[in-house]
Chains A and B, each alone.
Chain A
């Protein structure tokens, strides 16, 4: 099995700006994923959804996972709270969670500990919030369910906290608590779920596409709410999204995923202004801007790889304009390309050169 353990290997090419650890601003990681492999067994064969992912999440940091649909972002998120579907299996890897100087291996927690870990330590807001609440229970009952499942069954205190949080996400708290989910609009349900995710004051919050299926104004509201909440409550955030503008607004660091692996990771400005992996560059070029010219847009040719029969070498090579024979044979691991910035590409310097040339022009 390939994949690196822990720290970075020396880069294969010239180092720019000296060696910096992948986790910026020193230690104090809340969640650290080490060489995680997740597979789905299907009739067609084994789908390798997550292939040797390693990353660290610092206290209070916001990390965005971007990439196309089917790149393994959601599976990675689900693996962190061990909520993967029945057909999936975590083949290898460790997920270390730290709180108050204690370390826990999430993947080997017992069922009761795992239950307590979920939501209280690490909450996840799912993609489809429309159907995320039980249709036959009122919102308050579901809030109380959540609290009492974590031995915080003081109805009064829970209610107070829920009211505060609902107010924070700009809902009419009393009315929402009394409502059934179907009496709320999609954006309201999304915000209810967001408020509920913070009910137990988790250290880590995973947001899976928090704004898809919402109109722009609601998206705006949710982004603002998230920023405020992060300032006030200081939790770490993993943001799973294919919406790059959302990532740019909320994240401190960005990780690009392709075919189940992280192909580039770095500081958000660094990654978006100086992408070093052709795939990240392709994603950025495919985003339209309201004021920009349509001719500047370019989509990435081809389609995401079949995760059962993956191409040899670098998984991106069939779609990559820079690919050569080496890319077809060898898959590169993440390597330092800048300060706190790593990419897994042989040709990152060529990408850099072209970008600089374009900017100069």
Chain B
């Protein structure tokens, strides 16, 4: 495009713009402007960034899990020898027949094969459950994690926000001191420790809960459906994981909400709302609560992603059939496709949660809409 390269001051430069650019050029400029507006679109940029993050994490996990010591075949052979006392050669033959995987292809080729399959929505087939697509295994386990984590997040967020506001309104009262102590202790104890204590005390020592019956995500033989029986049963099985998640996350929400509420209470608009004679209820919900909870929504969506990943230990302690348990099992068996699938799900959950946080925040806070909409 030598039009742009032309030196300033040359006679043609002094032509009016409309004459200087022929029609074809202005058409390309129109398209360029269109592309430009799409590219600079807030949502578009965010989605693009999210897609790139997922791609990056997927690639990273692909190589990292292959750096783990022992491959699926080795692990299988070891298992056979340990469990059935097979000879090494016999075990290797069986492994070759059963697993039917070729790990001798160069790494980059495996990687591009994997990416190619992924683009077609194919996560590959499990090494262990022969012929079963990894996706269908994950789909079987994922709802339980979403259910238990979702319910506990909902409980812990709502309860935490309410308790946090109570603490802020009654700060320096005995209630505040008790709740603050509880919140700081609970938010600093690791969740697997709480899970183990629940098992040890409630289940084993004091025998308050039928801990063996509570294992799994539902009782055998029960028909899934919207019956009271079924719903009661899945809550019975999810009770301990949910209790663990709630206990270990609620403290954080309480403390966050408390400090956020205290600073919101100092805001002029709250004083003015009082001067305007608004009812306490209206002030607490629409003026204090809504503004104080704003920063917490970002945290909420982000923590959704992390809890899916953090469910690994909890689900194996309670033998709850969610993706966390699936991940542990597939790691132990070096079932690469399933592992990659689960990591993909976790990465996607975190990224989507962040994306959702951005979008939700701009819905909730009108001030963001302006700057973000550019």
Determine if B275 and A135 form an interchain contact, defined as CB atoms under 8 angstroms apart: no
Q: Which of B267, B276, B279, B282 counts the most chain A CB atoms within 10 A?
A: B276
A272 adjacent to chain B (CB < 8 Å):
no
In whole angstroms, what is the CA distance A137 to B276 when docked?
15
**Contact digits for A119-134, partner B, Cβ 8 Å, 1 yes 0 no:** 1100110101011111
Determine if B367 and A145 form an interchain contact, defined as CB atoms under 8 angstroms apart: no
Name the contact of B275 in the complex, choosing from A124, A134, A180, A183 (C-beta under 8 A).
A124
Determine if B268 and A128 form an interchain contact, defined as CB atoms under 8 angstroms apart: yes
In the complex, what residues of B have CB within 8 A of residue A116's CB?
277
**Contact digits for B270-295, partner A, Cβ 8 Å, 1 yes 0 no:** 01111111110010001100110010
In the complex, what residues of A have CB within 8 A of residue B364's CB?
136
In the complex, what residues of A have CB within 8 A of residue B290's CB?
136
The A97-126 residues at the B interface (CB cut-off 8 A) are: 115-120, 123-124, 126
B225 adjacent to chain A (CB < 8 Å):
no
B366 adjacent to chain A (CB < 8 Å):
yes
In whole angstroms, what is the CA distance A83 to B278 when docked?
13
Determine if B268 and A115 form an interchain contact, defined as CB atoms under 8 angstroms apart: no
- How many residues on chain B are close to A (CB under 8 Å)? 23
In whole angstroms, what is the CA distance A137 to B288 when docked?
12
Determine if A119 and B291 form an interchain contact, defined as CB atoms under 8 angstroms apart: no
Determine if A118 and B366 form an interchain contact, defined as CB atoms under 8 angstroms apart: no
In whole angstroms, what is the CA distance A81 to B271 when docked?
11
Determine if A126 and B367 form an interchain contact, defined as CB atoms under 8 angstroms apart: no
A146 adjacent to chain B (CB < 8 Å):
yes
In the complex, what residues of A have CB within 8 A of residue B282's CB?
145, 149
In the complex, what residues of A have CB within 8 A of residue B275's CB?
81, 83, 118-119, 123-124, 126
- How many residues on chain A are close to B (CB under 8 Å)? 29
CB distance from B275 to the nearest CB of A (A): 5
A339 adjacent to chain B (CB < 8 Å):
no
CB distance from A77 to the nearest CB of B (A): 10
Q: Look across to chain B and name the residue whose beta carbon is closest to the beta carbon of A182.
A: B367
Determine if A133 and B279 form an interchain contact, defined as CB atoms under 8 angstroms apart: no
**Extra 20 A-B pairs, beta carbons < 8 Å, given A134-B269, A145-B278, A149-B282:** A81-B275, A115-B277, A118-B276, A120-B277, A124-B275, A126-B271, A131-B267, A132-B269, A135-B269, A135-B291, A136-B290, A136-B294, A145-B276, A146-B278, A149-B277, A149-B279, A150-B277, A180-B367, A182-B370, A193-B272
The 4 closest A-B pairs by CB, nearest first: A118-B277, A131-B268, A119-B277, A180-B366
30 A–B contact pairs at CB < 8 A?
A115-B279, A117-B277, A119-B277, A120-B277, A123-B275, A123-B276, A124-B275, A126-B271, A126-B272, A128-B268, A130-B268, A131-B268, A132-B269, A133-B269, A134-B286, A134-B287, A135-B365, A136-B290, A137-B286, A145-B276, A145-B286, A146-B276, A146-B277, A149-B277, A149-B278, A149-B282, A150-B277, A180-B367, A182-B367, A193-B272
